[in-house]
Chain A
Amino acid sequence: MAALLGPNGAGKTTALRALAGLLPLEAGRVVLDGRVLEDTARRIRVPVERRPVGMVFQDYLLFPHLSALENVAFGLRARGVRRGPARRTAHAWLERLGLPEVADAGPRTLSGGQQQRVALARALATDPRLLLLDEPLAALDVSIRAEVRRDLRRHLREFSGVNLLVTHDPLEAIALADRLIVIERGRIVQAGTPADVTARPRSPYVADLVGVNLLRGRAAGDGIQLGGGGHLEAVGAGTGEVFAVIPPRSVSLWRSRPDGSPRNVWRGRAAGLDLLGDRVRVRVDAGPQPTLVVEVTAAAVAELHLAEGSEVWVSVKATEVSVYPA
């Protein structure tokens, strides 16, 4: 199960449509289980209806004029399965997804979660090798998302083919997928297990999702000359182009210049305060040094008399910076 994760407009849905064959490739190849579905160089293009690909659309697109059962049976009927067997197989799928009671219901009478499961049954009933899910939870009410996500995860585990999920919701991606592919502006910027991707973000988008400060620069010894100006001390920074991640909780805030061991000490101005439960995220603009997001307790904010525009000092221990090659 892989998840294609990216901001709105990154090209996630476009990629899904291309894999399904709904959108012709301008250049490139689509290979599934060793079978070439599309290859622009060799002018090969298997039409949508002959690809072993199932798709669950964002708003499910259940056929409004057919019952839930007929929706699920549609793919089998289209492939020439006779009415009786097609309906029996469709019924078995509805049962498997825990929906035998809605067989005769029209899609409009079903709840969002039920529609999603019917759409999943409809896609799986044709026995695809690749299952594409376009934002499968986006159309659902927030209150039922967690439950539907759990069910979806269970059903997808049973599916033997390749699963590809598209989402802009990192929680959904991490909960459902064991491999993340992050795309931005139509390009893959990072791929790997959720743990890898979140531990070593490679783009501001991913850093934002994870909630860490991501800096980029050129390392030499124990220091990094930052691309945006400024300098960062980091133990064992290595050499060459690197990313440096600073967790917001590893940054300390002071009203006056701190003494002691921290090597990175900058003076700046609190530019924004966001309350996050009992913690406060403070954005600190520090002149030539990079802007950092700092997370402190609400008590610390009070103690420091922090407000927007306050002059502050930030310090980061050189050992708290994690550095990896860019």
Chain B
Amino acid sequence: MVRPPQPFNPVLVVLAAAAALFFILPLVGLVARAPWASALGILTDPQVQLALRLSLICSLASTALAAVLGVPLAWVLARLRFPGKNLLRGLTTLPMVLPPVVAGVALLLAFGRRGLVGAPIAGATGLALPFTTPGVIVAESFVAMPFLVITVEAGLRSMDVRFEEAARTLGARRWTVFRRITLPLIGPSLAAGAVLAWSRALGEFGATITFAGNFPGTTQTAPLAVYIDLESGRLPSAVVLSLLLVIVSLAVLVALRGRYLGD
């Protein structure tokens, strides 16, 4: 469809230009101040490598956890009818809008060494999540899983459930239907949800530092390393790591463009 030209509104255009600059300038700042000559050296620094590897492992692990738990949750929200469903949906998507540091405090109170669930577990097994790598994964999952849940739930809702009925008339049991019909049909939603969750996990800072702390090698992920570098005057290192995260985020955006950016 050919759209008629819009009347020109200078006020809106000027404000829009300001908004665009607001987004572009910080990126320009990063690129302008990047120590290109020493970038490679910084990225191969053992401390930086540790943070990057930890970030990669934890974000992938939390995405996997989010998929294993989040897909069933999305299915329950999309397909079952029960009282309190909307409340449940609200609670599970709350982390999307919750200040991450609050999420971290809440996780401590539940799963901390003296937490609601954490204390009995620690008492019985001597194991505790805070200040461990699994703690990072839990913190990242907590903030990232909702992205996967709402994306997959939307996918399940838009899917034609009669395909599942057809599969059942062909003799497929529930689990076969889910595995061979439902999952493949929501594949695109699942992929999009997983990518969103992964990028959110990769950038997670507040909940991680609050719940899991900031120990190089065990809980210090790349965003934490950026913050610490900045605080301790290692600006070049902070900038290089930041740029790396920007590039990853851009890649995610490109991967999802068909889905969320219209064309």
Contact = CB atoms under 8 A, between A and B. Distances in A.
Interface in A29-85: 47-51, 53-55, 57, 61, 63-65, 74-75, 77-79
Contacts of B122: none
A53 B169 CA distance: 7
A87 to B, nearest CB: 15
Contacts of B165: 22, 48, 61
Interface in B90-135: none
A57 B164 CA distance: 12
Contact of B184 (A20, A50, A54, A65): A65
Interface string B158-178: 001011011111111100100
A78 B169 contact: no
A81 to B, nearest CB: 10
B170 A74 contact: yes
Contacts of A48: 165, 168-169
A123 B165 CA distance: 13
A224 B207 CA distance: 88
A250 to B, nearest CB: 47
Interface in B187-209: 187
A122 interface: yes
A62 to B, nearest CB: 8
Nearest to B185: A65
Interface string B133-169: 0000000000000000000000000001011011111
Contacts of A54: 169-170
Q: Which of B168, B170, B181 has the most CB of A within 10 A?
A: B170
Interface in A254-306: none
Contacts of A77: 180
A126 interface: yes
Given A22-B165, A57-B162, A74-B180, A64 B185 contact: yes
A62 B161 CA distance: 13
B173 A61 contact: no
Nearest to A57: B166
Contacts of A65: 184-185, 187
Interface of A: 20, 22, 47-51, 53-55, 57, 61, 63-65, 74-75, 77-79, 122-123, 126
11 contacts: A22-B169, A49-B169, A55-B166, A55-B169, A57-B166, A63-B163, A63-B181, A64-B185, A65-B187, A74-B180, A78-B171
